[in-house]
């Protein structure tokens, strides 16, 4: 059985992430989306909240599982006997970082864990969780970037209702 892990912060999950998850789920028998817990960062959403939003967004994908992990993703892979990481690539700027991290993961896992890349669908190429957060913090309309459920959760975090979004 081919199992892959798609790790990330997902703070929050965007339609760009979801596109990678859907396409990845068609390539592997099982895809585990792993929310990486990084205590050094101060995320907008708690790991549990991020897991809940991903679960809601992927409810129609039966071979997608969600998990949460604090530590090195190669340790997660070793513990669960998984050898493939899935990552998304948006731009050249992503490539440099992703190349370095994929080579590090391969070397540090004694060549056990390889990374597979999917390039972004063009309509999501500009999307990132950080722009979603920034836009929403100024009451911007994020309905083209995230699912309706996620949009509602983001607006709630910033203490306002969907109705007060600009341009609606």
Per-residue burial over 128-139, b = 16 or more CB atoms within 10 Å of its CB, e = otherwise = ebeebbebbeee
E strands present in the chain: 3-8, 30-36, 64-69, 84-89, 114-119
Nearest residue to ligand ADP by CB is 16
- Interface segment toward ligand ADP; rule CB under 6 A; list 45-53, 84-92, 147-155, 159-167: 84-92
Catalytic residue check, 110: no
Binding of residue 31 to ligand ADP (CB under 6 A): no
Binding of residue 147 to ligand ADP (CB under 6 A): no
Compute the least distance from the CB of residue 17 to ligand ADP, in Å: 5
Binding of residue 10 to ligand ADP (CB under 6 A): yes
d(CA 24, CA 88): 10
Binding of residue 80 to ligand ADP (CB under 6 A): no
Binding of residue 50 to ligand ADP (CB under 6 A): no
Compute the least distance from the CB of residue 108 to ligand ADP, in Å: 16
Quickly tell me which residue has 């071979």 as its tokens. Answer: 63
Among 20, 21, 32, 154, binds ligand ADP (CB under 6 A): 20
d(CA 7, CA 32): 8
Q: Which is nearer to ligand ADP, 69 or 124 (CB)?
A: 124
User: What is the four-CA torsion angle of 55, 132, 125, 148, rounded to 10 degrees?
Assistant: 50
Catalytic residue check, 17: yes
DSSP 53: H
CB 161 within 8 A of CB 136: no
Catalytic residue positions? 17, 41, 90, 129
The residues that touch ligand ADP, with contacts defined as CB under 6 A, are 8-10, 14, 16-17, 20, 87-88, 90, 94, 120, 124, 127-129
């Amino acid at each position: 059985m081919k199992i892959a892990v798609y790790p990330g912060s997902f703070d929050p999950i965007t339609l760009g992430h979801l596109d990678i998850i859907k396409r990845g789920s068609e390539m592997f028998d099982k895809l585990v989306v792993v929310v990486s817990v990084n205590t050094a960062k101060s995320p907008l959403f708690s790991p549990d909240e991020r897991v809940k939003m991903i679960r809601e967004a992927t409810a129609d994908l039966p071979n997608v599982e969600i998990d949460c992990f604090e530590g090195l993703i190669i340790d997660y892979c070793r513990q669960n006997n998984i050898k493939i990481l899935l990552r998304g690539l948006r731009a050249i700027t992503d490539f440099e970082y992703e190349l370095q991290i994929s080579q590090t993961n391969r070397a540090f896992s004694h060549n056990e864990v390889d990374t597979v890349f999917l390039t972004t669908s063009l309509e999501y190429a500009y999307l990132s969780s950080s722009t979603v957060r920034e836009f929403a913090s100024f009451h911007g309309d994020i309905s083209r970037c995230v699912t309706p459920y996620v949009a509602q959760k983001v607006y709630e975090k910033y203490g306002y209702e969907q109705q007060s979004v600009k341009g609606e």
